[in-house]
Chains A and B, each alone.
Chain A
Amino acid sequence: MRRIPSPGSTKPERRTTVDRQLIPRGVKRCSTGKFLLWILPWAALLAFGLYSAGLCLVKGLNQTNMDNRFAFGLWIFLDLTVIALGAGAFFTGFLLYILKLKELRAVINSAVVIGLVCYTGAVCVLAVDVGQPLRAWFTFWYPNVHSMLTEVTFCISCYLTVLAIEYVPIVLKNRKLRQVPSFLVFEFELHKLVYVLAGVGTFLSFFHQGSLGGLYGVLRGRPFAFREGFAVWPSTFFLFILSAAAVGPSFILLTTWLVEKISRKNLVRPEVFGLLGRISGLLLAVYVLAKTVDTLIWINRTSPEIGFPAAQYYSWQPFGTWILFAEIVLFGLVPALILLAPQLRARTGWLVAAAAMACAGVALNRFVMTVQTLALPTLSFDRYLSYFPSWQETGTFLAVVAFGVLVYSFSFRYFQLFPSERELKFGAAAVRER
């Protein structure tokens, strides 16, 4: 059948594959073959990770190197880290829809996808991590309202649903899907909910980020982690919220920069990078201050009062005081100062390095709270223990990384993740023509 050129077009329409038809109008994406080459290694990694996770599910958690002392290991540490990094989704939504920082519209779709992959990955790993995953619904049926983990379970489940709903309009805006009228109507109706979703997402996220910190802060039996607090919430509750809000924008900045480098395209205006960096720096500075005060109170009052001089925690190598310095100063104060300095922030290298350092600092904080807490003995005659994850544990986590990259890659290819991309492309083309 002969193709008839559409009335508005100047050149005849080329025969296109389904892949090309799904790519948004006005943007350029790599060829199908190149894209397949890109996703192939990630798909292989995902397959390996699923095999590792399958072993843990079928044969049991004896496939891991966790034990009765190291009841939590790599998975919980990385879960806490990715959930903190994924906080960019709720925090960007909060800044855009509630505080009306319109510039962030340029990254909101990308932030939602990052949030979705971070939370989905974390929940999937948690399902492998628990000994009886089929009993997960017990938490909803027999909830212990005193447990921070109950709050975490409730909030993460609800927030994941919110993220999924927020992702739907991004999918439905796809060029091909828009041709279905009912999808268009549904997307339009869903869009009206965006402010409600942003509000609900913010509320849920604040709570579960806090509860994740509270998980450790309430452990009276673990003086290294135990913290005083306000009402039922230990100080770690507030510190986790603050740190997640601080690094969320940094992670969005970092990922956007990475996508720009990999795809070799301008996706957002430089001002947006600067804004994300400024927000991150400001919150990071507040976090570092709060963390310092908290640490001083813990060293001088909380821990000694229950008979554990804080110095003893750092007598076990490799956990010397260097880790405290690295967490608060090197990966806290230093990136905060860089992000707050306009001259440094204006240089992409400094900006990206500071954002990466901020993310590393929060990862280190989650590592200290999870792994170091369990490595230290409480009984005076007990041993200090170390732990190294098995390949099945590492593989399972790599599956999350591969899953994240794949979902993001497909989303970037087929959906409009960066609304300014087209505008920037035409702007650059106009400059070239001149």
Chain B
Amino acid sequence: MIGPNKQIRAARYGMTIDVDRCTGCGACMVACAVENNVPPAHAGATDRNGITWIRVYKIDNGLPYPETRSAFIPVMCQHCGNETPCVHVCPQQAVDVDPATGVVGEMPQRCLGCRYCMAACPYHARYFNWWDPAWPKGMEKTLNPDVTPRMRGVVEKCNFCHGRWHAAKQQAAAEGKPDTEPVQYLPACAEACPIKAIQFGDLNDPAGAPARAAQSGGSFRLLEKLHTDPKIYYRSKRDWVRASANAPHPFAGQHEAGKENHRG
């Protein structure tokens, strides 16, 4: 535990996602669900009321074949750092921003399930438990003991794998490292991405790969114009992909990747 007088070097955990690399394989979504004990979709669930902390959108440039080009944009909680929309609206402080990490956290044990935070989130990155969580017989043995499953009637979302962050903190303590320094760890999605399109780290560390990638050319953030300071940076060398992030008008013919196949 960190003592009250210790000076903590605050981290600003964030991600860069290389859109040009992403193939839309969905490995990040699966890894995230397994890591965070997201239950298998209920038989009655659809892509609109299922739970996936990462949703991969498929976009295209709107041109006819053979000029058609596609890209995949994984969207999760963007961990807004400025006037975080969901934190401001929660009536009972079930959502907060950890000043030590910059991670927007959700406390399901305190959540009323009013869903005001979902209405407030511009990224539609928050999910409600419409059903009781249930795992097929035997599958409960695969549950991650570091992550509490959520009950019906509460909201949940990406927390940059809080269980892994906690394990990394314990590991650092065991190794005798000072507990005032940010720890290095990888969320499940970044670890599972087969082509390493997702880079994760402390954006305050200028030498770190994510910070460098975020500052490089071709980097952009979704809905940056709302000035909520999201911590997920996307990268693409293609102009039309970058333009899509802040385009005023929705593009024609765009849809979510494989929405017919997977239940989000």
State the A residues within 8 Å of B (CB). 60-62, 66-72, 129-132, 135-136, 138-139, 141-144, 146-150, 153, 215, 218-223, 306-309, 312, 315, 373-374, 377-385
Contact = CB atoms under 8 A, between A and B. Distances in A.
A218 B254 CA distance: 29
B128 A222 contact: no
B46 interface: yes
Contacts of B151: 132
Interface residues of B, number: 61
Interface of A is mostly: loop
Interface string B117-134: 011111110111111100
Interface string B213-245: 000000000110111100000000000000011
B248 A378 contact: no
Contacts of B122: 220-222, 378-379
Given A68-B118, A131-B129, A139 B152 contact: no
B184 to A, nearest CB: 31
Interface string B88-126: 111111100000000000000011111110111111101
Nearest 6 pairs of A and B residues by beta carbon: A131-B113, A131-B153, A221-B122, A307-B225, A71-B115, A67-B48
A61 B128 contact: yes
A187 B215 CA distance: 72
B112 A68 contact: no
B91 A68 contact: no
B250 A308 contact: no
B247 interface: yes
B248 A380 contact: yes
Contacts of B127: 68
A60 B153 CA distance: 7
Interface in B148-174: 151-155
Given A219-B119, A222-B122, A373-B119, A139 B250 contact: no
A68 B110 CA distance: 19
A141 B94 CA distance: 12
Contacts of A72: 115, 119
Contact of B93 (A129, A144, A309): A144
B113 A132 contact: yes
A308 B250 CA distance: 11
A378 B222 CA distance: 10
Most buried by A among B226, B247, B254: B226
Given A62-B130, A135-B112, A377-B250, 7 more contacts: A68-B124, A71-B115, A135-B111, A144-B91, A220-B85, A380-B251, A381-B244
A150 B120 contact: no
B130 A147 contact: no
Contacts, number: 177
Most buried by A among B85, B127, B250: B250
B49 A382 contact: no
Nearest to B130: A62
A306 B46 CA distance: 32
B151 to A, nearest CB: 8
A315 B112 CA distance: 35
Contact of B85 (A69, A136, A219, A377): A219
A130 B127 CA distance: 14
B113 A149 contact: no
A139 B112 contact: yes
Interface of B: 42, 44, 46, 48-49, 57, 59, 73, 75, 83, 85, 88-94, 110-116, 118-124, 126-132, 151-155, 222-223, 225-228, 244-251, 254-256
19 contacts: A62-B49, A67-B49, A130-B114, A132-B154, A136-B112, A139-B92, A142-B94, A222-B122, A312-B250, A378-B124, A379-B75, A379-B123, A379-B223, A380-B249, A381-B73, A381-B244, A381-B251, A384-B250, A385-B48
B45 to A, nearest CB: 8
Contacts of B255: 383
Contacts of A68: 48-49, 118, 124, 126-128
A378 B123 contact: yes
B248 A142 contact: no
A306 B223 CA distance: 9
A60 B122 CA distance: 26
Contacts of B93: 142-144
Nearest to A307: B225
A308 B92 contact: no
B92 A221 contact: no
Contact of A130 (B85, B113, B118): B113
Nearest to B86: A221
Contacts of B44: 62
Contacts of A142: 92-94, 110
A138 B115 CA distance: 15
A81 B183 CA distance: 50
A147 B110 CA distance: 15
A359 to B, nearest CB: 25
Given A144-B92, A215-B116, A131 B111 contact: yes
A130 B116 CA distance: 10
Contacts of B85: 219-221
